[in-house]
Amino acid sequence: MKGRLRPGRWALGAAAAALAVSCAGDEPEGAASSPGPGLRPFEAAAPGGGAEVSEAATWYRRAVASRQAGRTGPAIEAARRAVQVEPAHRQAAELLVELYFAEGRPDEAAEVLQRAVAAGRTDAEVYHRLGLAHAGAGRMEEAEEALLEAIRRDSTNASAYNNLAAVYARGSNVGKSIEALERVVALDSTYVTAVYNLGSAYSENAEYERGEQLLRRAVRLDSTHVGARYSLGQVLNDLGRHEEAVAVLRAALELEEAAASSHFELGKALQALGRDGEATDHLRRATQIDPTHMEGLYRLGRLCSQRGDDDGAREALERFGVWRAVERDEPQLWRQVRYHKQALAADPGDAAAHYALGSLYSKVGKRDEAVLELRHAVTANPRHRDAWRHLSMLYVEMRRADDAAAALEEMVRQWPRDLGAWNNLCIAYLAADRLDEADGAFDRALKLAPRNAGLHFNRGHLYRKRGDAAAALTSYRRAVELAPEDERLGATVARLVQTLADSSR
């Protein structure tokens, strides 16, 4: 299946922590871990580039070897070194971009690609990938510009046209979306993603016959395409052909049971056929998978009421009211939510869409919903480091210290040189009163960064909880020695020293 930036069925008409000093953005000295947000400035390659090219090739080979061994952090670091030496090193840049995309870091991918362009690489594919990176970061105007440049340089680039159509879809530009998709299908009639998107676009415009034809073609091209089956079932429901819709949607759910949209649409079809018990089950499942599914909540509430289930109706309609208020009060945010939910209708395993939804729900304080989406994201892509980090921090905010620790344990298992994850794991263990585990985690973290003031400060809390005032004072004072310029840290330690001194009298 070609292309990834597809919009699903398009909307054409997409505690202890408070005491702790964070070192989440720090890297241990000499570590080969992947960087935090933003890359360090690249050094320009020297004229001639003989020795530099050899050095870049060496770093690139190290990156490939690390990646093959499953060591993503060192692979990223080595690829970064390669493009530092030679910004136009095509293979190293492509590998680095691929690694950043896999870890859900489109901003950093975009920066690498922009540097490649500045270094003289101006082929169609670099602009195409730059468009995808901008789109993944939510910068749609920049995405459109880059994708148009890719097409200008290669008018046969079907993937670029398809992703341009997805950008237009996000902006609800019906005509341009369909125009771009028609171009894709003309270039490659077997491009299943484009065929599916075009069928969805026509269906949204109430051109059902054309939409049904294209969606059936998409299913023939790829019988495992959940989105095509879901959209076809939706069209059949819209046409009143509910028995056909049931068969198509059951097939979709056999492919992907955790697809809220398919459960919802099947619930609609079954309700239309008078099979209210089955309809209730599927509507309830849809709202369990996606607790923000307003249509599902409303329909479930009404159906429960009709069936005499007053408690079920009250719960569903109350939840509907909560999210209706969000839609009313935060329209721009809700448009983003809707876009990513449409992507999940097409691909329920889209880790990027789950992560985006989790981030959006977190912004409006809907932590339970955010956690659910972030767990979907790390299930779909266990290497999505930002999703793991965000999930662990939400658990900390919710005072679910054991859950936070479990997420952070997974992070340090996968990224053993991620100092921020080790620091936060220490904090989570402290919050859960798992003091022996916290002590061991501090040992590991301080081996990575023995001069990190935050770690020494946080370990002081561990000793204090154990009642070892002398060891606590030693750790606090060591933190101040390592960061004498941090006035707030110094003032905090002074207060703690006084408190410990008073309590020992």
**pTM, full prediction:** 0.70
Whether 439 and 472 have beta carbons less than 8 Å apart is answered as no
| 3-state SS class at 427 | helix
Query: Can you give 149-176 as a three-state secondary structure string?
Result: HHHHHCCCCHHHHHHHHHHHHHCCCHHH
Q: What distance in Å separates the CA atoms of residue 357 and residue 340, rounded to the nearest whole number?
A: 7
pLDDT score of 9 more than 60: no
- Looking at domain 349-436, its CATH class is mainly alpha
Q: 121-161: per-residue pLDDT in tens?
A: 889 999 999 999 998 888 999 999 999 999 999 999 999 99
pLDDT score of 2 more than 80: no
pLDDT score of 445 more than 90: yes
Which residues are CB-neighbours of 486 under 8 A, at least 6 positions away? 453, 480
Write down the pLDDT at residue 35: 26
Q: 275-293: per-residue pLDDT in tens?
A: 999 999 999 999 999 999 9
Give Rg (Cα) of the chain: 26
Write down the pLDDT at residue 244: 97
Report the pLDDT averaged over residues 246-250. Answer: 97
What DSSP line would sit under 370-394, residue for residue? HHHHHHHHHHH-TT-HHHHHHHHHH
Assign 77 a pLDDT band (cuts: 50, 70, 90). very high
Assign 459 a pLDDT band (cuts: 50, 70, 90). very high
Whether 58 and 86 have beta carbons less than 8 Å apart is answered as no
| 3-state SS class at 60 | helix
| Residue 134 burial by Cβ neighbours in a 10 Å radius (0-12, 13-18, 19+) | buried
Side-chain-facing half-sphere of 160: CA atoms under 13 Å: 24
Whether 346 and 8 have beta carbons less than 8 Å apart is answered as yes
Average predicted confidence (pLDDT) for the chain: 85
CA distance readout (Å), 81 to 61, 101, 125? 11, 18, 22
Q: What percentage of the chain carries pLDDT values higher than 70? A: 89
First-residue to last-residue Cα distance in the chain: 72
Report the pLDDT averaged over residues 380-388. Answer: 91
Whether 259 and 289 have beta carbons less than 8 Å apart is answered as yes
Task: Provide the angle, in degrees to the nearest 10, between the axes of the packed helices 276-289 and 294-306.
Answer: 150
Report the pLDDT averaged over residues 16-33. Answer: 33
- Outline where 103-255 has alpha helix (H): 106-118, 124-136, 140-153, 158-170, 174-187, 192-204, 208-221, 226-238, 242-255
Among 34-43, 48-57, 66-75, the least confident range: 34-43
Among 133-147, 234-248, 330-344, the least confident range: 330-344
Which range among 36-45, 330-339, 443-452, 492-501 has the greatest average pLDDT?
Answer: 443-452
Domain boundary assignment for the chain: 349-436, 451-505
Write down the pLDDT at residue 467: 87
